[in-house]
Homo-oligomer: A and B are copies of this chain.
Amino acid sequence: MTRRVSGPLLAIGGAEDKTRDRIILRRFVELSGGDEARIAVIPTASRIQDAGDQYRSIFGDLGVDHVDVVDIRDRSDANDDGVVERLEQSSGVFMTGGNQVRLARILGRTRSAETIANRNRDGVPVAGTSAGASVMSTVMVAGGQSGPTPRQKMAKLSRGLGLIDSVIIDQHFTERNRVSRLVAMVSYNPGLLGVGIDEDTAALISPDGVIEVIGRGSVLIVDGSRMQSDIENVNGATPPTISNAVIHFVAEGGRYSLDERNVVPQN
């Protein structure tokens, strides 16, 4: 049921430390080959001009000489031979924050998206922060309200890049009340696992099907395997009853097995 990833995926909850220890970004650099890394930064989620340059500078500080900001601005860029070639040369792909719907609208099912998926299947790590994390799954969080009570209208889903099938990734858990939203989203297809990532925290999803948590906060896993709900019978505003959601808050160093659907005991 759980499709394993072939290369590592580093899903970052947004607002990662960029100036001090930078343990999350440093980990991405290591995974990408350290000093030898060739990192492609995709700033497409953001409408801010220098979103890519900021990461160029950070990865440079962390010892990476080859940082290529691949500024894909529309679907024609995303299908461009030159762009595809640049992505093929990368040993690590990093997607910035911004708006994941924008990212999916521009990249979705283009040659660039296909190339990123192929590179990842060949073992190349793909990282994304905030919108760049949400866009990784096949069905992604498209937005919607948050709040304490799950409501149908919270669950706006759309098609992501499909780097991982079995999860829905939500981010910025720290400042935005999203536990209920994630539970509501999982209730639409309880076979999916909800992964909610705090700010300055990352879920490193490895080819062996284990999620390792890195960073300051924690990662919330919502397991719907035993879930029951009446989500299809309520309207957008009325709260549903959703029972038997199993949740796990996993902190720094903790590991969660996608196959076992449980936290891996520490040695």
Contact = CB atoms under 8 A, between A and B. Distances in A.
A263 B218 contact: no
Contact of A217 (B177, B198, B239): B239
A243 B228 CA distance: 20
Contact of A241 (B147, B239, B240, B251): B251
B249 A183 contact: yes
Interface in A157-195: 173-180, 183
Copies in the complex: 2
A234 B266 CA distance: 14
Interface string A54-98: 000000000000000000000000000000000000000000000
B239 A248 contact: no
A245 interface: yes
A252 B249 CA distance: 28
A249 B218 contact: no
Contact of A150 (B177, B243, B249): B249
A173 B149 CA distance: 8
Given A148-B178, A148-B198, A174-B147, A251 B263 contact: no
Given A150-B218, A178-B148, A217-B148, A251 B228 contact: no
A238 interface: yes
A14 B17 CA distance: 38
B245 A263 contact: no
A252 B239 contact: yes
Nearest to A256: B243
A102 B247 CA distance: 34
Interface string A108-149: 000000000000000000000000000000000000000111
Contact of A249 (B242, B254, B263): B242
Contact of A174 (B149, B176, B234, B251): B149
Closest 5 CB pairs of A and B: A243-B263, A239-B251, A241-B254, A243-B248, A218-B239
22 contacts: A147-B174, A148-B174, A148-B176, A148-B179, A148-B220, A149-B173, A149-B174, A149-B217, A149-B249, A150-B249, A179-B180, A183-B247, A217-B239, A238-B252, A241-B249, A242-B248, A243-B250, A243-B262, A244-B263, A245-B246, A245-B247, A245-B248
Given A148-B196, A240-B249, 11 more contacts: A148-B174, A148-B217, A149-B218, A149-B249, A217-B239, A239-B249, A239-B251, A241-B263, A243-B263, A245-B249, A246-B247
